[in-house]
């Protein structure tokens, strides 16, 4: 007679169950195999969408793209024209933001 362990624990909260080590190991291996199969099936069925990658440029690269000095770039950041992204203690600038700024001013990268 096979009993569901959850049902038994609900019906008899103080019940003590003795299990042979080989049975416990066998159940653990079976459970692991079932989980690995489930993961493999669900991963293939519903792939995880790739994260959008944002290209970040250094201050120097941004200055070269825009043809401005670091002081002008700093002023642009202070005025809100370009918003820097902090990477640790360094500033980086999104290529998409730079392209938008250039196209807004009538140019192209």
pTM of the model: 0.51
56 near 92, Cβ under 8 Å?
A: yes
How far is Cα 104 from Cα 42, in angstroms, rounded to an integer? 45
Structural domain harbouring 38: 19-49
How many domains does the chain contain in total? 2
One domain, residues 38 and 73:
no
3-state SS class at 86: strand
Range in 21-30, 47-56, 64-73, 87-96 the model is least confident about: 47-56
Check residue 88 and give left, alpha or beta (phi > 0: left; psi -120 to 50: alpha): left
One domain, residues 60 and 33:
no
The mean pLDDT of 11-17, rounded to a whole number, is 86
């Amino acid at each position: 007679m096979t009993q569901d362990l959850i049902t038994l624990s609900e019906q008899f909260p103080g019940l003590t169950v003795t299990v042979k080590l080989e049975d416990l190991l066998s159940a653990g291996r079976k459970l692991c195999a079932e989980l690995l199969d489930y993961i493999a099936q669900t991963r293939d069925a519903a792939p995880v969408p790739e994260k959008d990658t944002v290209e970040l440029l250094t201050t120097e690269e941004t200055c070269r793209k825009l043809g401005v000095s670091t002081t002008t770039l700093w002023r642009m950041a202070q005025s809100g024209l370009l918003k820097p992204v902090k990477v640790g203690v360094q500033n980086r600038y999104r290529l998409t933001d730079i392209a938008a700024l250039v196209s807004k001013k009538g140019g192209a990268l």
